[in-house]
Each structure stands twice: as C-alpha cells, then as structure tokens.
Amino acid sequence: MARYRRGTFSGIGIGGSWTPAVRLIIISCIIAFVLDTLAGGAFFAPKFGLRPYAVTHQFHIWQMVTYIFLHGGFIHILFNMFGMFMFGSELEQVWGTRQFTKFFFICGVGAGLTSVIATPGSTIPIVGASGALFGILLAYAMLFPNRIIYLYMVIPIPVKWFVFIIGAIAFLSSMSASGGGIAHITHLGGMLFGFLYLKGGTVFSDIKYRYDRWQRARLRRKFDVYYNERHRDDDDQEKWRRWRN
C-alpha cells in the first residue's frame, strides 16, 4: 500500500481492499441488522440503542458502544457500510488494524457521549455507525484533502470540501428544531472526537512543554532564593568572626 503525504495527492478514486477491521465491523452490523429485522425491529433498539436517559439515569453505559452496530433501515445500513468500506479500508491500510479500530471506537463512543451530554433526558433511541463514520471521513479528509470523489456519482469534489459541506449541514441541522429523525449532534460528536484524537497529541504535548518550562523556572527561582539566603548567611558569619577577632 503506497503512503501519501497530506495535500500532495490529487488523484481520483477511493476505496481499498477488504481490510480485517472494516470487514468485521460490516459483518457485525449486518448480523445485528438481520437479527433486529427478524425480531420485528422492536427488541434490539430499546435495549441496545443509545437512549441518553437510560445512560444518565439508569447507567446503561454499554449503550454508547452497542448503538454503533444497530441501524434503522436498509438505506441507513447500506450508506453507512458503503462509506465504511470506501473510506475506512484505506485508513486501516495506512494506520494498521489496531490503530484504526481504536480510532473507530473513539469516534463512535465519543459521538454517543456527545448526544448524552447534549440531550441527557431523551428517551428516543439513537442507532447507527454514522458518528464513527463522520470521524473517519474527517480523518480521511485530513490525510487526503485533495482526493477527488463524485458527489451523487456525477459532481467531482475534493474530499476536504465534501467533508466540510456535510459537517456544515450537520451543524446547521443540529440547530434546527426538526432534525428529520437524524442525530446530527451525534455526527458532529464523531467529528469532534476524531479531530481531538488526531490533534490532541500536539495540544497535550504543548501543554506539557509549557508546564515543564514553568516548573523549571519555579525550581530555579527557589534555588536562587536559597542560594542568596545561604550566601548572605555565610557573609554574616564571616563578618561576625572578623568582628570578634
């Protein structure tokens, strides 16, 4: 698999091979979807979909993970799994399976946590891997910003602008009273946690550097105070000895 530098590749074509983590995620989602469909769609979502009220009041913490693998319909799972294959496979090839899997769950759980914080009293189940997928889209745009995709299979557009547009739509829709049954806050949460994870190392390294520099300066001031006091005491003792003599 060739490695690409950020901003240097402007070729056309997205999608990689059938990578292990992406394969397992897609198969797991399909199995959960089939079982939920056979159960009439009324069994899994209430128990394993993300209901913020159940998390904040009944401590059903596991729902922030299990909701990722449930979907609300055929079109829902089709687009999510298609996006997971098209964008996730190449990220997994670049990062490796372990790193990609970690990132997937950080975005997915982070997206769920965002929804819980934003609507802690909601009892409406949230389902789907969309939050994790939005984080993956953001990461893809950061790695391959000039890669061309075809919007609606017709309009060529760089990935960076595509992700910016869908992020803006999610943000504006989250401000609307009617979300059309789509958890836009969850999508934004996936992007937010993906960004924080990718950029957090730089931020926290800078904070640690500033703290270490402040700590060194603080210790240096303490040493200077101690040294000056000790030096002054030695001078006083020397003057005392001279006076006695």
Asked whether residue 242 is domain-assigned, the answer is no
**Higher pLDDT residue, 9 or 77?**
77
Q: What is the mean pLDDT of the chain?
A: 78
Asked whether residue 214 is domain-assigned, the answer is no
Asked whether residue 162 is domain-assigned, the answer is yes
CA atoms within 13 A on the CB side of 153: 0
Asked whether residue 216 is domain-assigned, the answer is no
CB 117 within 8 A of CB 138: no
Asked whether residue 51 is domain-assigned, the answer is yes
pLDDT in tens, 28-64: 999 999 998 888 767 788 889 999 999 999 999 999 9
Asked whether residue 159 is domain-assigned, the answer is yes
Asked whether residue 44 is domain-assigned, the answer is yes
Structure tokens given for 190 = 């996936």
CATH number at residue 155: 1.20.1540.10
Asked whether residue 49 is domain-assigned, the answer is yes
Tokens 């030695």 sit at which residue?
234
CB 84 within 8 A of CB 12: no
CB 147 within 8 A of CB 11: yes
Per the structure, the count of domains in the chain is 1
pLDDT in tens, 126-165: 999 999 999 999 999 988 888 877 776 677 878 888 888 8
* CA dist., res. 104 & res. 132, Å (int): 6
The boundaries of the domain holding residue 36 are 20-201
Identify the band that residue 167 occupies on the pLDDT scale cut at 50, 70 and 90: confident
